[in-house]
Amino acid sequence: MASVRVLVTRPAHDAAEWVRRLSEHGIAAEALPLIDIAPEPPSPALRAARQHLADYDAAMFVSGNAVTHFKLGSDQLFFETKSAVAQLDQARAAIKTRAWSPGPGTTAALLRAGWPAARVDAPAPDAGQFDSEALWARVAPQVHAGVRVLLVRGGDAEGRAAGRDWLRERLAEAAAQVDTVVVYRRRAPVLDGAQAQRARAAAADGTIWLFSSAEAIANLRQCLADVDWRAARALATHPRIGAAARAAGFGVVLDTRPSLDDVRASIESLA
């Protein structure tokens, strides 16, 4: 496997973790972040969402970054106060807010942040996909008229809510009350000379591009608009991402589930 190189295109923090995990399994991986993540500046809406989290029946976090940036600026765990430990435990027991997670990465971030595992809803570990559709299959029975749901998500470079509205549409159809809060911004990266050179080489040298977002593919095309991708190879962690890679001109695109074991097996199949 050492002869095969993999470019991990997730945001920098996530990419570093994936590089570490792949390297532990003998895969020569390196990071080339194609999405830049920045915290949303403080705002009354963000402060209100943090302060009134327990007023919601459920909070849907679109990603691990959503969890991290929702808590940014506070060292406290979810729902913590300055109360004594006994009072804190009692308060936690009284809070009924459920966390909705689209996949294992978000679930892990919630647990690290102190959200009780018994109040996290997510697709089964062996689900065919980790996305809004798989999550909805799990949480739809919780939703009825008047249920309050907070969508915690990312925004574009100007802070406008970005991403799919599929889950919001299902909630609206069920007459749920839905609020949205943007907690981070997703921006196109500025590739330095070495990064641009590496990306150009990876278009034709057999490197495997690991894509977990169609936005990363769009940013790559924006950064290197003159590159021909017909000789490039890619792994995509969702069929929609695979479709974006094919539309961008990648010659070989393999769809894979986003778990480490599935990604490893897919890399091995392309080696």
Whole-number pLDDT of residue 163: 80
Whole-number pLDDT of residue 76: 53
Distance CA 147, CA 163 (A): 23
pLDDT tens string 113-164: 989 999 999 998 888 889 999 999 999 999 999 999 999 999 988 888 878 8
Q: What is the pTM of this model?
A: 0.84
Whole-number pLDDT of residue 88: 40
CATH 3.40.50.10090 residue window(s) in the chain: 5-35+189-270, 38-187
Residue 29: count other Cβ atoms within 10 Å of its Cβ: 21
Whole-number pLDDT of residue 125: 86
- Residues constituting the chain: 271
Tokens at 165, concatenated: 């509205």
Task: State the architecture of 5-35+189-270 in CATH terms.
Answer: 3-Layer(aba) Sandwich (3.40)
Whole-number pLDDT of residue 34: 97
Nearest to 238 by CA among 203, 269, 198, 266: 266
The per-residue pLDDT string of the chain (271 residues; one tens digit each, 9 = 90 and over) reads: 557 899 999 999 999 999 999 999 999 999 999 999 999 998 898 999 998 999 999 999 999 999 999 986 554 556 544 443 333 444 444 468 999 999 999 999 999 998 999 999 999 888 888 999 999 999 999 999 999 999 999 998 888 887 889 999 999 999 999 999 999 999 999 999 999 999 999 999 999 999 999 999 999 999 999 999 999 999 999 999 999 999 999 999 999 999 999 999 999 999 8
Residue found under tokens 């159809």: 173
Distance CA 117, CA 143 (A): 20
Backbone angles phi, psi at 47, to 5 degrees: -60, -40
Whole-number pLDDT of residue 91: 44
For 134-139, the CB contacts below 8 A with 24+ separation are 134/102, 135/60, 135/100, 135/101, 135/102, 135/167, 136/167, 136/170, 139/58, 139/98, 139/100
CATH number of the domain at 38-187, please?
3.40.50.10090
pLDDT tens string 86-95: 334 444 444 6
Burial class (CB in 10 A: 0-12, 13-18, 19+), 78: buried
Whole-number pLDDT of residue 266: 96
Amino acid code (one letter) for 75: D
The answer to whether 229 and 244 have CB atoms below 8 angstroms apart is no
Q: What is the DSSP string of the chain?
A: -TT-EEEE-S-HHHHHHHHHHHHHTT-EEEE---SEEEEPPP-HHHHHHHHTGGGSSEEEE-SHHHHHHHSTT--SPTT--SS-HHHHHHHHHH--PEEE-SSHHHHHHHHHTT--GGGEE---TT-S--SHHHHHHHHGGG--TT-EEEEEEEE-TTS-B-S--HHHHHHHHTT-EEEEEEEEEEE-----HHHHHHHHHHTTSSPEEEES-HHHHHHHHHHTTT---TT-EEEESSHHHHHHHHHTT-SEEEE--SSHHHHHHHHHHH-
